Structure 1
Amino acid sequence: MLKGLGALGDMGKMMKAAQEMQTKMAELQDELDTIIVEGEAGAGLVRATATAKGELKSLEIDPKVFSPDDKEMAEDLILAAIKDTQARASKRAQAEMGKLAESMGLPADMKLPGL
């Protein structure tokens, strides 16, 4: 149908591909809200869970952490567990974006907008 239009036919293909990519990105954003990752610190004394978008969902703290003499240690472990969880969430989101890029024929390490 667009055979004789040359570059306009290619433009139509590009627009369709861009719309498809936008739809898949929106679906992935929704999916990242449902993927749960867990991080920890202090050999599991503090555990945090978050979505792959990095939204903290829960924090579990072993009572052994609460020593009145070492408040700073508890704070450090909590912070470390949250940071570990956020790093894992970021890695998971990047992996999911890589899968999306590959499914569209793009390099897996290509930086797609949206994350």
Structure 2
Amino acid sequence: MKGPLAGLMQQAQRMQEDMKRAQDEIAQMEVTGQSGGGLVSVRMSGRHEVRGVTIDRKLFADDPEMAEDLVAAAINDAVNKIAGLSQQKLGNLTAGMNLPAGFKLPF
């Protein structure tokens, strides 16, 4: 291929490689979600695998329903942190591209 189309294809291939590399980096990241002022902590990988949960034991004795709610909140906090890191890292790759509004990568 010659001309502008060849250049566009090379650019797309480089972007695809960069995207894969960024996704691999995200998968290796680990975040900690917290709730209840640190009473509950959840460690989660960039692949959304929970690696560990820490719960203040006193919380179970005082209010087990609250402990359940705080675990859910800590998981949600970790998921939101991963989403933010992903958006930041992948957003840098698509900066400068004139993508239509609402178009998201990866699909």
Aligned positions of 1:95-114 closer than 5 A: 95-102=88-95, 105-106=96-97, 111-114=104-107
**Offset at 1:111?**
2.7
Encode CA deviations 1:35-66: one digit per residue, 9 max, x unaligned: 11111011000001112343322111111221
**Runs (4+) of structure 1 moved beyond 6 Å?**
none
Gapped runs of 5+ residues in structure 2? none
**Offset at 1:113?**
1.6
Does 2:42 align with 1:51? Answer: no
Number of aligned residue pairs: 104
1:89 to 1:25, Cα distance in 2 relative to 1, 3 A: same
In terms of mean alpha carbon deviation, does 14-23 or 54-63 score higher? 54-63
**Offset at 1:99?**
2.1
Aligned positions of 1:1-115 closer than 5 A: 8-67=2-61, 70-102=63-95, 105-106=96-97, 111-114=104-107
In structure 1, what residue type is equivalent to 2:58?
K
Q: What TM-score results when the alignment is normalised by the length of structure 1?
A: 0.78
Encode CA deviations 1:59-85: one digit per residue, 9 max, x unaligned: 111112211x62211110111100111
**Equivalents in 1 of 2:55, 2:79: separation in Å?**
17
Q: Which has the higher helix share?
A: 2
Gapped runs of 5+ residues in structure 1? 3-7
**Equivalents in 2 of 1:80, 1:100: separation in Å?**
31
Q: Which fold has the larger relative contact order, with Cα–Cα distance below 8 Å and residues 6 or more apart in sequence?
A: 2
Bigger radius of gyration, 1 or 2?
A: 1
Query: What is the identity percentage for the equivalent residue pairs of Structure 1 and Structure 2?
Result: 38
